[in-house]
Each structure stands twice: as structure tokens, then as C-alpha cells.
Structure 1
Amino acid sequence: MNDVVLAAALGVLGGILLTVLLVLARRLARRAPDLGSDADQAALSALHHASLAAPHLRAGLATPEVVKATRHLRVLLGSAAVAIVAADGTVSSDGAADGLEASALRIAERVRVSGRRQVFPSRDRESGIEGVGAPIIVDDRVVGVVVAFASPVRAALVRAADEVADWCAAQVELGGLDASRTQLAEAELRSLRAQISPHFIYNALTAIASFITTDPLRARELVLEFADFTRYSFRRQGEFTTVAEELESIRSYLELERARFGERLQVTLQIAPETLTTVIPFLSVQPLVENAVRHGLEPGADGGEIRIVSRDEGTHTEITVEDDGVGMNPDALRERLNATDDGMHVGMRNVDARLRQLYGPDGALVVETNMGAGTLVRMRVPKSQPLHDPDND
């Protein structure tokens, strides 16, 4: 849980820093036609190149993407050439310098051994090219070295190399947190799938078996619904889907539950057509519907109604799942949702955690319930999510 909180906090911090950079850049751009003073222009250029370099460092220092970052770092440092040497010896560089790769490896090795910034005079009197190496340190470990070449290396470049190395370390750390967050989301999705299987699959197969001799055609239809539901629920690709795809899976799920409940299960759908293409986390609505059946309607002798609504709320799509079942004490529900070892409401807890990770505190589920008053669960997701395309996920 601490890792999740740290990842979320640093993710928010990274967003705040990016916002500040963009605001500063816009303010500078809105000044006089010449973009203000020389200092203003230099600041704007530095922000621009730093923002362009950042994405190429997030996946680690040994990937082919890093060479794209060195192009921007060379401009940022104003040096003749720049190299980033990863811990495994991979060299990514930009600029012209004789024997650049060999010099970068030699400098990086010295810096790694010492763990400190070092300046290296030129070995070639004709070129006069000198180098400065600064360690990229993550978790007290040198994961790479920034090497800048110039003729000569001045004090300003030495200080700047240190700052750039620290900035690179921050990008590598943020990339690691992004990867951890992705792995955590995948683990939670696997956990959710595991929770779906035992209870529902047993009940579904039992219901299908009950129709095999009395109504073979109905049994065949239910087998096909079961196949569609499981194919969707256990698909391997993607953490995101659309409202339309999730609703189709929910339709199959409810058909199987109707085989058990009969007329005791009523379903009402109210879906705004413009919300069908909204991108949502995979298996985010279905667990809410299953929770309504299991904990809302199943405990009551008379069953009840489930109402699923999807509304267009301008920049967001709001989805609600409501049942008129037994309801629950709000304090007891709160305790169960916060409990890590409680087998009840695990689907709702899992969905809530994933929504918070993706959309922040404002993305959390809203639950309205009370004893004998049924339960309503509300989720809101942004309609614009360019980074969460289910086709490219």
C-alpha cells in the first residue's frame, strides 16, 4: 500500500511540475513579440528541451530511445557533444567529438568508481576537447553517467552537468514508478479475474446443467453466453475497453444470472448513445453489477431490480449501478471496503483502487446505501483519454 501511495504522490508531483513548466512557458510566450529578455528566451529554450528529453529517459538508460534525449541535452548544456553511459556500458550520444564513445566509457568508469563528478583534460592537444562526467544516482546507486564534451570545459558546464545528471535520475525514478504502477494494475486485474471465477462460474454451470434435459435450446444459448462472458473477462490484451464492450459482457453475465433467478431478477438499462465509445478501465462496471446481484439481491427472498445508467456529463461519462436489494450499513461497508483480507466486496474495492490510481481522488467510487434501502454505486470517467486507447493498449 505504501508503494501505491508513493507512486500516486510522485505521479501527482510530476503532473504539478509539468503544469508549472507549461505555465512558465506560456507566460514567456505571451510577453513582447521578441519573447522578452535574453534570460527569458534562454529559460524558455531550457524548458522546451527538458520537456522534449524527459519521455526518452523514462524507460531506462540502456534503450535506443535515450539517444533522442541526448540531442536535447546537448543543446541544453551548450556542449560540443553529450553522452549518456548506462550501467551496462551502453553509450547513447549526440554531437561530434573524436573517439567520443571510447572517451565516454573511460570517463564513465572513473565516475562510477568514485561516485562523484569528475573533469577530464584533453588527451589530444590539437582538438582540445575535454570532458566532464556526472553520476546519475538512483537509490544510492550509480545507474549511469552524463558526459559532456567541450573545448574547454568551463565551470558553468561542470555545474550544469551535475544538475542535468540529477534531473536524469529523477526521470529514471519516475519511469520506474510508472512501470511499478502498471505492474500493480495488472496484478490487481489478475486478482479481480480470480475473484470472478469461483463463485460465478460454479453458479453459471449449475444453471446451465439444470436446462440440459428440460430445455436443451435454452441450455445451448446459455453455454454461448457463458463462452462470450469468459472470453471477455479473461482476455489477455489491454487494461482498457469501451462502455459498449463492457455492457455487452454485462448482458451475457445477466442472462446467466437470470437462468438462476428467473423473474426475480429485473434489469433496466438507460444508456446515452454518446457514452458508448467512452474508454473505461477493463472490468470496472461488471464487478459493480455482480456485487449488486450477490450482495444486494441474492440475500433477499424476492430478488429485485438492477438499474444501469450511463449519462453524458459534458467532459465526463457518469455510470451508475443501482439495486433495490437489502442494502447495508454505511459504516460496515466502509470498513469492508478498507479491509485487505475481507472476501466480500473485493470487486468493488478493486475497481475503486484502480479508478483512484488512474484519475486521482476525484475518480473514486461514490457509494450510497443503507439497511433495506438498496445500494447505488457511481463512477465518473473523463471522456477524453488519449493515452488509454483500448485498440493500442
Structure 2
Amino acid sequence: MEVVGGAVLGAAVVLLGLAGWRRAVRQRDESLGSPDDLATYATLHTASLAAPALRAGLDTEGAARALPYLRALLGDAPAALTDGAGVVASSGDVAAEQAVPLVEAVLAEGRTQASDRLVVAPLAVEDRVVGTLVVGTDHPSASLVRATTEVARWISSQLELGELAASRTALMEAELRALRAQISPHFIYNSLGAIASYVRTDPERARSLLLEFADFTRYSFRRHGDFTTLADELLSIERYLVLEKARFGDRLRVTSSVAPEVLHVTLPFLAVQPLVENAVRHGIEPKDGPGHITVVARDAGAACVIEIEDDGVGSDPEVVREALAGRASSGSIGLANVDERLRAVYGDDHGIVVETAPGLGTKVSLRVPKFNPRDPS
């Protein structure tokens, strides 16, 4: 998070510095605000139009879409973007042959270079120079060199943010695959064992349980979508609990209370189901005698609050802290996985909260914003 925050702050400083340069070269209508206000607004607005294309990476399509806005930031000077292999996109009359030695020098040294016709600034992600911004001019000046360098720094910040977003997405996908792998072995074994026990004594129930098992596994191992609705997640949980009740019998009791207005809330796929499974496996299963699990989903204004509570054996809070930190032994992966994915999607204020103590059961709570994480606007 510090890297992201630093990149955003750096980008803001670069753009405000660039606005100062643009004030020196363009006149504004004071009736719409002071020249300083108008130059700052124009710079920030133009940059915001270029940002989405740059965050997609330094490829031909994104560079071509961003380049007109980058030229506007530079007073409509001809410009080009290059990567380590050559020109990615160009606009205007850029002296390509003359640019080659300058581009090679910038890629090697990581510093802005200038000639009588060109200014070339490095594009860097972390400590790697990944490309250059080439600006053509008939009148090279110190202000143009400074402006080109500032625009290149801002481009670099957008490329870095794009890489961070891609890395976070890949991490979340890997964690979800790990969660599926962790859930499946023991549950499949136990469920099939319970179903098999009814094949001769109650074939109809065995058939019904087998259908529940098929629907549950179809949902859990589906290959499309990182998000689901709370209604679909709760339906899968209901199927899971039907299968567990077949195994535990009267030892497992379940109560649910779900507000209808939160059923359509969108949340990360498999964000609640692992919490219910933990309640069964680590709360009720080790307990002598019957156990009770309560599933609550209630409306809380701009958020949906979900609570999974059991009256099982509970746990040492230190063990839970280790589990959330990902340092616990096998069997606790689910808690850390859900916590990390919630924080990745909604921010650090939306991790899970665990209340527990030995012999006193466990309550796990999470708050899910009602906005769609795929379209936060």
C-alpha cells in the first residue's frame, strides 16, 4: 500500500509541476477562473483521460490511445513512446532516426537526454527502465526538458500502478485456487462417505444428497467470475450444511437470519462459505455433544454485515492471529485467504473480525460494501 500511495502522491506532484509549466506557455480566459486554476484543471483533466490506457501497459493499443493526451500536456509537441524493442506509438513529426541513439542512451543510463531536435526521458517501473518518452521540437529549452521529464515520471507512475493492479489480480486468483484445493479433499471424502451410508438404508435420501453434492461442487469449482451474489453464496452454504447434517445428524443445528434487501449484494466468490466450513470443522466437530451454528446477514446502511457464529470449542486468540497472518498450520488457510481477498477488494478496513476464546465458541464478522466492486463508481 505504501508503494501505491507513494506513486499516487508522486503523480500529483508531477502534474502540479507540469501545470506550472503550461501556465507559462498558454493564455486562459480569466472569466472562468484565474489562469492558475484553469491551467491546473486542464492538466489534471487531460492526465485523467490518458491514465486508463497507460495502466493497461506499454503496448501499441494503449500507447496510441494515450499519446494525444500526452501531447496536449506538452503543448501539442510531436511525441512518441518506445519500449526496449523500439517505437510503440508515435504522433506528429518525430525524427525517428535521430532518436535512436538518444533512446539507447536513456535506456542504458536512465536519465533524460536532449539534442537540438529531441528530448528523450526514461519511463521506469520501480528500478527498471521499461521505455522512453520522445518529444520533438525546433526550439529546445530547459522548460521543455523539465516538462518532458515530469510527464515521463507521471507516465511511469501509471505504468507502475497498472503492474501493481495486475499483480494483485494474479495473487487473488492464485489464492482462490489454493482455497478451492484446501476445501475439496476432506469435504469430498466426508460427503461421499455420508452419502454411501444411505445407499442401502435410504436410497431416496442418498439420491437427494448426491444431487446436493453435485450442485455444491459445481458452484465451488466454477471457472467464471471472481464475484458472486450473497444469495448464490448462501445457497451454496445451505447445500454444504445439508451434506454436513447428513454426517453429523442431531449433533449439528443451524439457524439463519438473512435480510432480503442484502441478497443481491455482490461479494468475492467463496468469501463466506469457508467461514461456515471453519465453524463446522474447528468449532463443532471437536466438541462433545451437539453444536449450533448461526448465520446472519443484515442490512447496515451502505454495507451488509455478515456474521458466522458457533458454540463450539473456540480457540486461543493468538492461534487466530497466526492464522490470519498466514503462519498457521494446515486447516487455517481459509481464514487468511478470505481476509486477504476482502482487504484486496475493499481496503484494509474490510478484513474479517474474529471473536473467540477456548471453550466459548467463535464469531466471525465481515462488512461488505453494497457497491459493486467491479464498478466502484
TM-score after normalising by structure 1: 0.85
Instruction: Decide whether the 8 Å contact of 1:91 with 1:101 is kept in 2.
Output: no
Report the Cα offset of residue 13 of structure 1. Answer: 4.6
CA distance 1:215–1:178, change in 2 (3 Å): same
* Further displaced range: 230-239 or 310-319: 230-239
Provide the C-alpha distance between the structure 2 equivalents of 1:248 and 1:102, rounded to a whole number of angstroms.
64
Gaps of 5+ in 2: 20-28
Among 2, 9, 24, the residue aligned to 1:9: 2
2:107 to 105, 112, 124: 112
| Correspondent of 2:66 among 45, 64, 69 | 69
CA contact (8 A) 1:132 1:147 kept: yes
* Distance apart, 1:386 and its partner CA: 4.7
**Alignment partner for residue 136 of structure 1, among 117, 123, 136?**
123
Which amino acid in the other structure matches residue 376 of structure 1? K
Match of 1:29 in 2: none
Hey, what does 1:267 align to over in structure 2? 254
Aligned counterparts of 2:70 and 2:132: Cα–Cα separation in 1? 13
Instruction: Give how far 1:326 is off.
Output: 1.7
Shift of 1:51: 1.8
Opposite residue 254 of structure 1, the aligned amino acid is L
Question: CA offsets, 1:8-67, max 9 Å, x none?
Answer: 333345567789999xx9xxxxxx983432122111111111222122111221241121
Distance 2:111 2:259 in 1: 61
- Percentage of matched positions with identical amino acids: 53
1:84–1:92: 8 Å Cα contact kept in structure 2?
yes
Q: Does 1:91 align with 2:88?
A: yes
Residues 348, 190 of structure 1: alpha-carbon distance in 2 compared, 3 angstrom cutoff: same
Instruction: Tell me the residue number matched to 1:228.
Output: 215
Q: 1:253 aligns with which of 233, 236, 240?
A: 240
Classify 1:229/1:198 alpha carbon distance in 2 versus 1 (closer, same or farther; 3 Å): same
Aligned-pair Cα RMSD in Å: 2.6
SS in structure 1 at match of 2:287: coil
Aligned residue type for 1:315: A
Cα offsets for 1:260-305 (capped at 9, x unmatched): 0112211111111111111111111000000000111111132322
Structure 1 position 116, deviation (Å): 3.0
CA distance in 2, matches of 1:134, 1:373: 62
Q: Tell me how far 1:113 sits from its aligned partner.
A: 4.5
Per the alignment, residue 28 of structure 1 pairs with none
Structure 1 position 136, deviation (Å): 1.1
Match of 1:52 in 2: 49
Q: Distance between the aligned counterparts of 1:278 and 1:271, measured in 2?
A: 12
CA distance change for structure 1 residues 58 and 104 in 2, over 3 Å: closer, same or farther?
Answer: farther
1:212 equivalent in structure 2: 199
- The aligned residue for residue 177 of structure 2 is 190
Cα distance 1:12–1:208, how it changes in 2: closer, same or farther (>3 A)?
A: farther
Which residue matches 1:36? 33
Aligned mates of 2:147, 2:13 — CA distance in 1: 21
Task: Quickly say closer, same or farther: Cα 1:140–1:369, change in 2 above 3 A.
Answer: closer
* Aligned partner of residue 65 in structure 1, secondary structure: helix
Q: How far off its partner does 1:329 sit?
A: 2.7
Secondary structure at the counterpart of residue 86 of structure 2: coil
Which structure 1 segments of 5+ residues have no match? 1-7, 26-31, 122-129
Determine which of 313, 318, 337 is the counterpart of 2:305: 318
2:31 aligns to what SS in structure 1? coil
Aligned residue type for 2:309: E
1:164-197 CA-to-partner distances (Å, cap 9, x unmatched) read 1122112111211111111111111111111101
Residues 157 and 149 (structure 1), Cα distance of their counterparts in 2 relative to 1, 3 Å cut: same
1:358: Cα distance to partner? 2.1
Contact 1:85 1:104 in 2 (8 A): no
Query: What is the identity, as a one-letter code, of the residue corresponding to 2:85?
Result: D
Partner SS state of residue 148, structure 1: strand
Q: What amino acid sits opposite 1:120 in the alignment?
A: S
CA-CA distance at 1:325 after TM superposition = 1.5
Name 1:360's counterpart in structure 2: 347
Letter in 1 for 2:334: G
2:272 maps to 285
Equivalent pairs, count:
365
Shift of 1:205: 0.7
Cα gap change, 1:388 to 1:300, in 2 (>3 Å):
farther
Q: CA deviation at 1:100?
A: 5.6
Q: 1:167 to 1:228 in 2, by over 3 A?
A: same
